[in-house]
A and B are shown apart, each in its own frame.
Chain A
Amino acid sequence: MGAYILRRLLGAIPLLLGVATLIFFVLALAPGDPTAAYFSPNLPAEVLEQIRRNFGLDQPIYIRYFKWLGSFLTGNFGYSFAQSRPVADILLEALPNTLILAGVSLALVFLVGVISGVVQAVRQYSLLDGALSVITLFFYSMPSFWLALMLMLIFSLKAHEWGWPIALPPTGITSVDYEFLSLGERIRDRVVHLILPVTTLTLALAAGVARYTRGQMLEVVRQDYIRTARAKGLPERQVILRHALRNSLIPVVTLLGLYLPFLFSGAVFIEVIFAWPGMGRIIVDAIFMRDYPLVMATSFLFAVMVVLGNLIADVLYAVVDPRIRYD
């Protein structure tokens, strides 16, 4: 197993190098210039030229590429143009926020998805199955940004207007008076701010897991060993949970890796709408500001997380399925 993980990690290196190269050349070949932000009609052309030289933009593209790659690989992500501070600092602030949002959502996505899928499969063709199928397909077809707006409208803005007992905060990660709260209140404040973004991501993504789990369960339930388990008189509950569920969860684990890109894509919208100071919001802001160093580092970090997530999913797959041996 150790050798396999090592091999996969080594295999990820060219992949990530490729991604980094792709990012660099997409940005380098794009029209527009980072110095455009400094442009003003009063600025003499020589000064602009000097700025370009200071940024190293006068050099040919391959030299810029290798210089950039060299410093990038040694962990020097450079300075953000827009925020005038090291990119690494900005990312270190944002990363935990995104990981909290993505982690909690991912856990809930699989919990909700698997439960719904199992219930549907056990009661196939029942009213409940039909209802859940329609509901999951409905959420599956829904753009996450619209769902976010609607949840915000109903459970935060309208709830406030209608005087519901609990009106969730519409945006942000903490309340304004967070600094003055006690520890317990702080935790509560954090959780309350998490509810809407996490609910949106969960609803948007759990549908896919539910559909997949249902299909897997239906396949497994037809197997001979399930009939054997029933024939030897095991209670239905045990047949479903011990024999069927555990085996149908194996392929669901691989979904974990496949879902990370969706999760991060979804997180971009969620973070923008709910003003969640995570990486998705940073990258959108950075793209609009043409803050190239920040864009490069953030998108690279996204790619790293996706590759790592895929690796973890593959390793988990081997752990849960003893038939699979990576040697």
Chain B
Amino acid sequence: MTERDPQVTKNPRDATNVGDPQSGLPYSVPVNGLPPEPAEPLPARASSGALIASAIIPGSGHVISGAPGRGIVFFASWLVFVAAVLLGAGHIRTLPQTGSLDDYIATCTVFVGLLGVWGYALYDLTGARARRLAQQGDSQWQIAVRHFKKSKLALAGLAVLALLYLIALIAPLIAPYDPIAQENVIQTSYLPPSAGHWLGTDRFGRDILSRILYGARISLSIGFIATAISVTLGTLLGAIAGFFGSKADAMIMRFTDMVLAFPRLVLLIMIVALFSPSITVIILVLGLTQWPNTTRIVRGDVLSLREREFIQAARALGFGRWRIILRHLIPNVLAPVIVTATLGIGNTIVLEAGLSFLGLGVQPPTPSWGNMVADGRDNLLGAWWVATFPGLTIVAVVLAFNLVGDGLRDALDPRLRT
């Protein structure tokens, strides 16, 4: 992949683009002397047979018209939703009588997803999207997406994450048992994995699989919200420190050093224990202690960006400071911030699990992966499955976040692109 100079090749995909009438030079000789990329022909329209096939089974049209890869992706995501509908059929049928808000949200998600995959597969098959993209040329984000797709591991991570967020939304439909209700505890306590309970039951006879599915809601939302808070705060503080310099910089960076000098876990357990644990407290505490890393990265980038011509131009044009920070600086430091955020969500999930493990996080009986592992400690030898499976789930999720983060880092940093 070569970097194209936007001024020389205005429209690299345009086949009619043969030369510059004024200078007589061909458009497509880039400054760095590399040969131009061959212009690709515009994608053709799909045949009506393929469209009809795709209307019945999403993705089949792609296979017919020679794009089996995309077809399989569409088909697989469609299957996921179909499976969710089948698994949740009982719930969906009794929705009007028993339905809680949770059930309604889950049902809506499933059907919207089902229709969405079906519709998008058709739209994609008509080729309208591909033609529009080909005519517009590539934006920075599209280049990044193309590089991201090269990494199989990162794509696998992304698939795992998409599936998990879906699971979190539709947990009531697919969970085989109630995650909290205790039945006949004497009969169902500590059942090993079997056909009835795939991952076994815990001390109170609750199904581990159902608890893991419901636990995804807690872990994923805490990870996401806390990281959103910390990234926003960290980016703003870093940009302020880097842009204003002098006193603001010194104050913010001293404070950052102070927070970093503290083992974070100790700070976390201190605050959570003292302010009696609840989900809100945990989200706030995790969000308000994670920002120093982002701040450091953003500050460093802003310091070097501040001296660049386009920022000086913005100043010369008389733009306000905040406009420069928000519209000119922050968009340019977003790439490392996105990577930090992705890795940060994984990190936050581990920390939340750790706090819950110590009894300082999500309180029982609400399932969280961390407190489920802690439950398993009671009878580690007798019932190994109680601690093992929630832990494995954490590993899988965090691994997925790390893979996606690594993939994003490679895709968003032009120096690392290969």
Q: Which residue of B lies closest to A211 (CB)?
A: B406
CA distance A83 to B306 in the complex (A): 55
Q: Check: B350 CB closer than 8 A to any chain A CB.
A: yes
CA distance A77 to B254 in the complex (A): 26
CA distance A290 to B276 in the complex (A): 12
Contact status A32-B398, CB under 8 Å: no
Contact status A150-B266, CB under 8 Å: no
Q: What 0/1 readout, one digit per residue, does chain A (256-275) give for beta carbons within 8 Å of chain B?
A: 00000100110011001100
Q: Check: A276 CB closer than 8 A to any chain B CB.
A: no
Contact status A302-B266, CB under 8 Å: yes
CA distance A265 to B398 in the complex (A): 18
Q: Check: B252 CB closer than 8 A to any chain A CB.
A: no
With A138-B399, A145-B354 known as contacts, the answer to whether A22 contacts B391 (CB < 8 A) is: no
Contact status B402-A145, CB under 8 Å: no
Q: Provide the residues of chain B in CB contact with A153, threshold 8 Å.
A: 380-381, 384, 387-388
Contact status A261-B381, CB under 8 Å: no
CA distance A143 to B396 in the complex (A): 11
Q: Provide the residues of chain B in CB contact with A268, threshold 8 Å.
A: 263, 265-266, 269
Which residues of chain A (130-171) have a CB below 8 Å from chain B?
137-138, 140-146, 149-150, 152-153, 157-158, 161
Contact status A303-B270, CB under 8 Å: no
Q: Check: A233 CB closer than 8 A to any chain B CB.
A: no
Q: Which residue of A lies closest to B359 (CB)?
A: A288
Q: Check: A295 CB closer than 8 A to any chain B CB.
A: yes
Cβ 8 A contact of B357, one of A18, A145, A161, A265: A145
Partner-binding segment picked from A23-31, A48-56, A222-230, A235-243:
A23-31
Q: What 0/1 readout, one digit per residue, does chain B (247-269) give for beta carbons within 8 Å of chain A?
A: 00000001101101111111101
Contact status A141-B402, CB under 8 Å: yes
Q: Which residue of B lies closest to A262 (CB)?
A: B263
User: Interface size on A (CB < 8 Å)?
Assistant: 48
Contact status B274-A15, CB under 8 Å: no
Contact status B398-A141, CB under 8 Å: yes
Q: What 0/1 readout, one digit per residue, does chain A (1-44) give for beta carbons within 8 Å of chain B?
A: 00000000000001110110011001100111000000000000
Q: Which residue of B lies closest to A306 (CB)?
A: B261
Contact status A303-B395, CB under 8 Å: no
Q: Provide the residues of chain A in CB contact with B373, threshold 8 Å.
A: 143, 145-146, 149
Contact status B264-A265, CB under 8 Å: yes
- What secondary structure prevails in chain B residues at the interface with A? helix
Q: What 0/1 readout, one digit per residue, does chain A (300-327) give for beta carbons within 8 Å of chain B?
A: 0011001100100000000000000000
Which residues of chain A (42-82) have a CB below 8 Å from chain B?
none
Q: Check: B271 CB closer than 8 A to any chain A CB.
A: yes
Contact status A299-B258, CB under 8 Å: no
CA distance A157 to B399 in the complex (A): 28
Q: Check: B367 CB closer than 8 A to any chain A CB.
A: no
> Shortest distance in angstroms between B408's beta carbon and chain A's nearest beta carbon?
15
Cβ 8 A contact of B262, one of A19, A30, A146: A19
Q: Check: A192 CB closer than 8 A to any chain B CB.
A: no
Q: Check: B275 CB closer than 8 A to any chain A CB.
A: yes
Q: Which residue of A lies closest to B373 (CB)?
A: A146
With A140-B402, A157-B380, A307-B261 known as contacts, the answer to whether A146 contacts B395 (CB < 8 A) is: yes
Contact status B258-A149, CB under 8 Å: no
CA distance A138 to B398 in the complex (A): 9
Q: Check: B377 CB closer than 8 A to any chain A CB.
A: yes
Residue contacts A-B, CB under 8 angstroms, 30 given: A14-B254, A16-B261, A18-B255, A23-B270, A27-B270, A30-B271, A32-B274, A137-B403, A138-B395, A141-B346, A142-B395, A143-B354, A143-B357, A143-B391, A145-B357, A145-B373, A146-B373, A146-B395, A153-B381, A153-B388, A157-B381, A161-B381, A265-B264, A268-B266, A299-B262, A302-B262, A303-B261, A303-B262, A306-B261, A306-B263
